[in-house]
Structure 1
């Protein structure tokens, strides 16, 4: 058991920061040099790590460097949305080697699952690898992934909440599959390659067609007891009746600041002719005063949501994402003014640096974490341990 723990520690150190030498690994993990050497021997024998040249410069003899073997396994991250299914293929170092995207005009869960399979396989084929070499696929979509065995509260995807959906996806992909809420994946993406890389406590606030929150606490994704942490669409607001049946289904906050909320704000502001939230923001950007007033109303609603979240979670950073949240140039002034009036707590507020890629990068990140566990069965076999 201790040997396995040491091997995982060494592999994780190499995965996060390689190439590194034996001495560096020992110094940074606290393991003895003989223990590191023993772990590296097993990891090399099972082809999870490889030599990566030698150190250069300085006095004394050079030292061997070690890195992950990129081709020891491959992962696929899949983002399932209302309009598109996207897939990205990465090697074990996290290098993206292929991406594919396809419109998701599905009227049933079965059709959408078929699309997931075709997009994922097309991405893997374009990477020049066989599907059998895929170690893990991570699938993200709207919905709560708890203990029910199927997604909950995924209203925008037809048939997505029925029994058996996850098992059907597993059969379609024919590999190890992990599932996660798409906004949670966006938070993981920011943690891996975005604004959250050096921030242990932050939230990713998605504002688009729907509303959701991805929570990272102490450097880890926080999901709550039932996987529903971050379902802030259902926060009650004084500006929307929480007992209204529409609000109980979709949530008062989502009704106020989601895509439909933008159109409602436009109507209240006297703006005519806009049929989508994007058109309202475009008109505001072009100087239409009624559109600007509508955007200010939406910004105030977003501030209400942030003001409710901050005293509970105390994040150092709020990352805004989604088709609406990314319009910071129009939202920021009204949002920050309202937040100053509502709360003494004002975390840093930034717009996602990953944009539409946040969910997909999060899916790849999750798949890489899961792949490490899967690949350790190879290490156990290399030590002669039954798996």
Structure 2
């Protein structure tokens, strides 16, 4: 199946404007794009003929004959896929990236790429059936891994054993018959925040993704910054220890990495130590009941006011903050958005991160810098993945 897109830069700008701001009148579009009425009409007619734009009812009267609103055509549908170490999350959106249907399913952390992609295709089939949808305009995928954006493959991902070099993009594109884009989850979530979250109001911001895998998405000058080889924002394995062998062992095989101190596995490890040492009767009781702990158990103990759980979460947050101080001073963002934490952990981590960053940074960098939790929560991944696909489909040739 051949998918058409904009033929020139004006059409691409028009589509992105309708995607980001919703239905607009011809007059509003002409003013925003700086196009004459005749040129706008010609470009709109071409997009309508391709099935990318359609009318959406009458516009508000500005005197004279009433104009009609234009919108991204109803047949334009994107899919956003967020693959994690323990879950696949799939959503279908319209052309404005509003989520129309969504399904999530747990997966084993060592299920492997072939089986995980097969599950992903099954879920996509189910949400497409819900909407009676036969065609997808594009699919975006976020992975908790370093990703070669050019090749659409994960590169040596500690959180996804066995996925190195697996052709996620090409396998899905062959099965679905539409463009597929793949990026790391922090970048994808940053795009979600840029489209529908707090980041929408800022041209320069950092999205700090915590949880099982840690990363940082950077939007600079209104554009996602990937770096020369798609490695920008890869903070998970920055070493915090004094030297070789210092600090806890990380999944990457090294020791003292940020993720080894602050990831979900690290929180569980420290919580088990607190339970075994008798510092937390609540956590010890949970171990006795369940035979172990999860990050959800740590979150529940933290929100319930357990001193040991709160102390270990604050300790992890301080390690994150030490790295964030360097990022804030180097990049000078307009806002820092934090997401990916287990429900209940975020507020405690946020308070500690703010305390350290504001105390250790010069006023010029942080005097008016908000540090906030994501208001999109777990929707950031699927919305951002759909945005990733739409950026490609709505790009000028």
Q: TM-score of the superposition, structure 2-length normalised?
A: 0.84
Q: 2:373 aligns with which of 337, 351, 360?
A: 351
Measured in 1, the distance between the counterparts of 2:22 and 2:111 equals: 46
- Residue 57 (structure 1) shift: 4.2
Q: 2:391 aligns with which of 348, 352, 369?
A: 369
Measured in 1, the distance between the counterparts of 2:50 and 2:330 equals: 46
Equivalent residue, structure 1, for 2:3: none
Q: 2:15 aligns with which of 11, 15, 18?
A: 11
- Residue 168 (structure 1) shift: 3.0
- Structure 1: state its 5+ residue gaps: 378-387
Equivalent residue, structure 2, for 1:44: 48
Q: Is structure 2 residue 178 aligned with structure 1 residue 175?
A: yes
Q: 1:25 aligns with which of 9, 15, 29?
A: 29
Equivalent residue, structure 2, for 1:231: 234
Measured in 2, the distance between the counterparts of 1:18 and 1:350 equals: 26
Measured in 2, the distance between the counterparts of 1:178 and 1:351 equals: 27
Alpha-carbon contact 1:265-1:298 (below 8 Å) kept: no
Find the residue that maps to 2:308 and give its secondary structure: helix
Equivalent residue, structure 1, for 2:298: 280
Query: Once the two structures are superposed, what CA deviation does each residue of 1:365-386 show, in whole Å capped at 9, x if it has no partner?
Result: 112222324xx89xxxxxxxxx
Equivalent residue, structure 2, for 1:385: none
Aligned pairs (5 A) from 1:140-155: 140-146=142-148, 147=150, 150-155=153-158
Equivalent residue, structure 2, for 1:136: 138
Q: 1:64 aligns with which of 61, 68, 76?
A: 68
Q: 2:94 aligns with which of 88, 91, 94?
A: 91
Larger displacement relative to structure 2 (5-14 or 135-144): 5-14
Q: Against the structure 1 CA distance between its residues 55 and 228, is the aligned structure 2 distance closer, same or farther, given a 3 Å change threshold? A: same
Find the residue that maps to 1:204 and give its secondary structure: strand
Q: Against the structure 1 CA distance between its residues 25 and 167, is the aligned structure 2 distance closer, same or farther, given a 3 Å change threshold? A: closer
Alpha-carbon contact 2:350-2:372 (below 8 Å) kept: no
Q: Is structure 2 residue 264 aligned with structure 1 residue 259?
A: yes
Query: Once the two structures are superposed, what CA deviation does each residue of 1:155-197 show, in whole Å capped at 9, x if it has no partner?
Result: 2223211454543333343432111111111111111111111
Q: How many residues matched?
A: 370
Aligned pairs (5 A) from 1:185-264: 185-237=188-240, 239=241, 241=243, 246-247=249-250, 249=253, 252-264=257-269
> What is the Cα-based RMSD across aligned positions, in Å?
2.7
Alpha-carbon contact 1:139-1:363 (below 8 Å) kept: yes
Equivalent residue, structure 1, for 2:290: none
Measured in 1, the distance between the counterparts of 2:196 and 2:344 equals: 17
Q: Is structure 2 residue 307 aligned with structure 1 residue 305?
A: no
Q: Against the structure 1 CA distance between its residues 240 and 289, is the aligned structure 2 distance closer, same or farther, given a 3 Å change threshold? A: farther
Alpha-carbon contact 2:145-2:184 (below 8 Å) kept: yes
Query: Once the two structures are superposed, what CA deviation does each residue of 1:116-151 show, in whole Å capped at 9, x if it has no partner?
Result: 111111111111112xx1121112112222256631
Aligned pairs (5 A) from 1:105-120: 105=108, 107-120=111-124
Decide which structure has greater helix share: 1
Q: TM-score of the superposition, structure 1-length normalised?
A: 0.86
Find the residue that maps to 1:89 and give its secondary structure: strand
Higher relative contact order (CA 8 A, sep 6+): 2
Larger displacement relative to structure 2 (227-236 or 97-106): 97-106
